[in-house]
Chain A
Amino acid sequence: MLRKVSALAALGLALIAGPALSAPHPKEPKAVSWGFEGPFGKFDQAQLQRGYKVYREVCSACHAMNLMSFRNLGQKGGPFYDPKYPNPNDNPYVKALAKDIQVNDIDSETGDVIQRPATSADRFPSPFANEAAARASNGGALPPDLSVIAKARSGGPRYIYSLLTGYAAPPAGLTVPAGSYYNQYFPGDLTASWSGDHDHVPPGGFLAMAPPIQPDQVSFDDGTKSTVAQQAKDVTAFLAWAAEPKMQERKQFGFAAMIYLLIFTVLLWFSYRRIWRNVAH
């Protein structure tokens, strides 16, 4: 009885996991992996630093990260964490990185809006004043905020990496609208723009973002070769950290919790057997 029901439940769960295969769909994200994945995953600090550089030099021109503050960069698990500075506000790297960026402020004497160097307590500034300005600068499309993008797309980091490296020449027969670019991993239905066989519509969609990363665009201070794939991998790791800065802590806490629960369960099992020893049941 129990076996039947659990087998059914497993079957049910397995079926639920399957995707809808009928409608045109983007290509499955590339199979790439990062060190932070898995139950013992950790962020690679060097990778996060490179990833921050890619964000700052490439992505931040259009994409905001409103939920991130400079001090987050110095937190435990973050790209510039230094055990000597447990309070990230004091971290000299964080202060220096912040000072490089101008943020809006109000002049306390005149009341005018001015620009001043950021401090570690400031949030990452938005490249545009508001949504309308962002759309106006990007052909009507709104570059999404990247604070939680790694959790906000199905496929997560794999999807982001695939998108960044997945631009391809459009196949013959595909009409790409002006101001858009074809990407095999971007969700969309290209049936209307496809002049070929309607049972073989190319995967992917059109997005307003041009291929954002060029080879050697961001030079890495640690000497890592700055290929498109490397930059994409690093910035994706940074975005994954930004979406879940507590991931490492969560997994470490989880390990301790699971061990404790396992021991607790075993103790309770033996306690149960002891108590029920004399009862026919």
Chain B
Amino acid sequence: MADTVVGANPDPHAPGEDPSRRDFIHIAAGAAAVGAVGALAWPFIDQMNPSGDTLALASVEFDLSKVPAGQQVVLKWRGKPLFVRNRTPAEIAAAIKDDNAPMPDPQPDEARHKPGKAEWLVLIGTCTHLGCVPTFQGGDYGGWFCPCHGSHYDTSGRIRKGPAPRNLEVPTWDFLTDTTVKIG
């Protein structure tokens, strides 16, 4: 093999020096390149996360005085329906009575409302089966009834009969004042 000064396949490392092709400088440059690509990848991934205006609607405030006793109001929250229900004492009693009844997703009624304010139920109005919106006061338990596949929810929003696996979801919410709540 005749290697000359202007070598055809010039040896990147001359004899007498480190034979390692993995010179530190190449590793450093390569690492910097990978680092640059990684650092730049994050903005491109993060841009698909919810943007500022979507997050602005992440929480909603609501005035409870709009809901008469025994009625519910449906709000739109984060693109989904939200039930705000003002329960009558009879409905509350019926819910508490069934606390230990057999049901697919057992949960006591007091875990589903704010302490001392049992009349106010705030639930996400999406059936936990396949996502339809249950109708108010329908079904065998006076709570809600989902017409799509026949799920019955009681006055606490718990699934009692039908294919839905879990109770109607309680979102993060709290009282701001006695009459206003913030959801989300």
Contact = CB atoms under 8 A, between A and B. Distances in A.
B25 A274 contact: yes
Interface stretch (A18-26, A29-37, A178-186, A261-269): A261-269
A264 B29 contact: yes
Given A89-B56, A119-B61, A121-B56, A264 B36 contact: yes
Given A260-B36, A275-B12, A267 B7 contact: no
B14 to A, nearest CB: 6
B10 interface: yes
Nearest to A90: B59
A69 B29 contact: no
Contacts, number: 58
Interface in A236-281: 260-261, 263-264, 267-268, 270-271, 274-275, 277-280
Interface string B1-24: 000011100111010000000010
Contacts of B26: 271, 274-275
Contacts of B28: 267, 271
B181 to A, nearest CB: 14
Given A89-B56, A121-B57, A260-B39, A278 B29 contact: no
A267 B56 contact: no
A58 B23 CA distance: 66
Contact of B56 (A71, A264, A271): A71
A165 interface: no
Contacts of B101: none
Contact of B6 (A89, A119, A261, A280): A280
9 contacts: A75-B52, A119-B61, A260-B32, A260-B35, A274-B25, A274-B26, A277-B14, A278-B7, A278-B14
Given A264-B33, A275-B12, 11 more contacts: A87-B55, A87-B58, A89-B55, A89-B58, A90-B59, A264-B36, A267-B25, A267-B28, A274-B23, A278-B12, A280-B6
